[in-house]
Structure 1
Amino acid sequence: MGKMANPQMRSCAACAQVMSLDDLQYCRETKSESVGARLYTLSKLVLLFLHRAATQKMHVRTQGRKKTMEKRIEGARPARAETDGRIQASRRDVMKGAGALAAAAAIGPAFGGGGRAWADDLPGKVGHVTTNDGVNLYYLEAGSGKPILMIPGWSQTAEQFKYQLTGLSDRYRVIALDMRGHGESDKPEHGYKISRLAKDVQDVITALDLDEVNILGHSMGCSVIWSYWELWGSDRLAKLLLIDQMPMITSNPLWTPEQTAAAGSIFDKNALYDVPNALAGPDGVEVTKGFVGNMVTANISPEEKEWIIQRNLRMPRQHAATLLYNHSTQDWRDEIPRLDIPTLIVGGRVSVVPWQSQVWINEQVPGSRLEIFEAEEGGNLFMFIEGHEKFNKIVADFVA
């Protein structure tokens, strides 16, 4: 993809027209998402935060030099040790502030009483499962009947399924899991790989003695399901519910635009490292806010958007970065056609996950059902929050 003269414009891979990044979500002429624009937008999002942070640091340094020069002119030359001390103190203050915010987000509020979720007054109970490598996993459970095991997306929590715990537990046994490092589960220094998370899910299914389970994955949760399938096939599974995950996040530079669209890739080879590095860096909290903030529609309330972001921040940023890198290197295009049990696929028309990739998955899995949420229905990555009433109806009908 060639360089664009105006960084505020983009060229649509489908029709070759140049469009405004601010005004157009996808090509209105062909209704085909611009894959190039998604690569461009997400990469530039991270670079924007890095540039902003660098600019702020430069401003601080410039102001410091200006004040120092003024003092020298006035005959009050400061000692170098004194100046360095002020700079170091300033840096410590900034890092303490960022660290406090990250720590508060990672620790989160305390639990409430009665074995229930901590703040949202969710129905049901809290439970724990210990994995075969000694990691304590937290889950929320409500209702009875056919089991639905829900696996959240990257760095998100079991609580993100609050509308499903309240809206589906009247007829189903809903179990929402915090993966290792996420939410209220243990946060070890190891195991932040999709294959390890798949083993964790198998440990949960075994510990809870689940059989004929309907397993739902949101975003990265789908990759965990595909890894589970690769290792254990359909063992103990009844149906799959795949919510908005592309077959491969990172594009191959040799791919055609059509191949990139089918894979749903949103990272190029540079973003594969730039995004995790930015998340793990000193500006990781701010990068997260921009990164996750791009995953909802403009119609979501500021309070709901902030709620999603704060749940994401409960995973330490270094662990989140490690997991995102591993997640972004997975290619599931060979495994998806092997799925041979009833499968529901849900995507969003304006999601950060190109909707064409969900069409491709639907075409690879015989008999699968495809649902695409439009923009006005909350059709971005968190459509199960923004459009939870429609989403719950689709899930209830499919599981039945």
Structure 2
Amino acid sequence: MPTSPIPRRLALIAAACALAAPAVCAAELARWFTTSDGVRLRYLEAGSGRMVVFVPGWCMPARIFEPQIEVLSRRWRVVSLDPRGQGQSEVPRGGYEPTRRGQDIRDLLAHLGGGRVVLAGWSLGVLDALSYVDMAGDGRLAGLVLIDNSVGEGTPPPARTRPSTFFTNLRQRRDQTVRGFVRAMYRTPQDEAYLDEISRQAQRMPVEASIRLLSYPRPREFWRDSLYAVRRPVYYAVTPRLRNQAELVAQRHPQPTVEVFDGAGHALFVDEAARFNASMEDFLARKAAWA
């Protein structure tokens, strides 16, 4: 299981990504589609060619993946979704549960057109991606990328905070709680304007809807079984609290790539963007089952 420092081949890819001229990066466009239950959702798109689709975490906007959109779109068609109630998407009254969120991904892939895709979910987006797999199978997938959330393997990871306490804080002092949550996602310094925007966007949906997103009615085994139903290549990128689960996925999945980002926070693809992008380039170019 690769850990830091980056293997030489990936380090060379990372260096090439960092030195590439910005002019070769395709322009990012905001686009819209309507789900099968009539909700208007937005996504960001850049680049051309084979496609990778990113799904962000709890209450986060599509723009959280800007480090990936900028770099990966030089070679790939990159799409990043604003899930319902998040980013600039419509904020409906319902649909904040895994079956509907998985269907939203299915609707997005149908809208984007044919061909296989690499589906990449982060945090809550891991569960949404696995919900999609449970209902649709892996027929559209060239690969599955799961970023820093439990997949139901082994022993449950230690909770960062008691859910009941977090929910109470959301109801009583939402702005303060969300801003603290956002800051805690990073181990590297972030611009204050950036943190402020992410925090404000993370409060668009009703607070009770945001709590429902953290209360998915599924046992841990559901996520594990959904993952192992995927026979395409899987890349599981985690922080140290999920190391044990990564080791088990490496042992039990038939086509695994696992990586532990020891020095990164929950938003590891921002904290260690060059390393993560290099790993994604390698996964997309050498491991994904496009044919």
What range describes the TM-score normalised by the shorter chain of this pair? 0.7 to 0.9
1:292 aligned to which of 167, 175, 182: 182
Contact 1:147 1:210 in 2 (8 A): no
- How many Å apart are 1:372 and its aligned residue? 1.2
- Residues 1:219 and 2:130 aligned together: no
- SS of 2:214's equivalent in the other structure is helix
- Residues 1:341 and 2:226 aligned together: no
Contact 1:157 1:312 in 2 (8 A): yes
The CA deviation string for residues 55-88 of structure 1, in whole angstroms up to 9 with x for no partner, is: xxxxxxxxxxxxxxxxxxxxxxxxxxxxxxxxxx
Contact 1:153 1:218 in 2 (8 A): yes
> What is the rounded CA distance, in whole Å, between the counterparts of 1:328 and 1:347 in structure 2?
21
Contact 1:272 1:328 in 2 (8 A): no
The CA deviation string for residues 20-62 of structure 1, in whole angstroms up to 9 with x for no partner, is: xxxxxxxxxxxxxxxxxxxxxxxxxxxxxxxxxxxxxxxxxxx
1:388 aligned to which of 269, 273, 277: 273
Q: Which residue of 2 aligns with 1:356?
A: 244
2:257 aligned to which of 351, 369, 377: 369
- Residues 1:276 and 2:167 aligned together: yes
- How many Å apart are 1:179 and its aligned residue? 0.4
Aligned pair count reads 259
Letter in 2 for 1:126: A
- Residues 1:397 and 2:261 aligned together: no
- How many Å apart are 1:267 and its aligned residue? 6.7
Unaligned runs of 5+ in 2: 1-25, 286-291
Bigger Rg, structure 1 or 2? 1
> What is the rounded CA distance, in whole Å, between the counterparts of 1:246 and 1:273 in structure 2?
19
> What is the rounded CA distance, in whole Å, between the counterparts of 2:163 and 2:219 in structure 1?
8
Contact 2:56 2:81 in 1 (8 A): yes
1:165 aligned to which of 45, 58, 69: 69
Contact 1:244 1:358 in 2 (8 A): no
Contact 2:154 2:245 in 1 (8 A): no
> What is the rounded CA distance, in whole Å, between the counterparts of 2:275 and 2:52 in structure 1?
17
- Structure showing greater relative contact order (alpha-carbon pairs closer than 8 Å, 6 or more residues apart): 2
- How many Å apart are 1:157 and its aligned residue? 0.8
Contact 1:141 1:176 in 2 (8 A): yes
CA 399–136 in structure 1, closer or farther in 2 if over 3 Å, else same: same
Q: Which residue of 2 aligns with 1:98?
A: none
Contact 1:150 1:215 in 2 (8 A): yes
- How many Å apart are 1:328 and its aligned residue? 8.0
Contact 1:126 1:139 in 2 (8 A): yes
CA 273–170 in structure 1, closer or farther in 2 if over 3 Å, else same: same
Aligned-residue Cα RMSD (Å) equals 2.4
Letter in 1 for 2:43: Y
Q: Which residue of 2 aligns with 1:326?
A: 216
- Residues 1:301 and 2:199 aligned together: no
- SS of 1:325's equivalent in the other structure is coil
Q: Which residue of 2 aligns with 1:150?
A: 54
CA 220–129 in structure 1, closer or farther in 2 if over 3 Å, else same: same
- SS of 2:199's equivalent in the other structure is helix
Q: Which residue of 2 aligns with 1:178?
A: 82
- How many Å apart are 1:324 and its aligned residue? 1.4
Identity level (%): 30
CA 327–144 in structure 1, closer or farther in 2 if over 3 Å, else same: farther
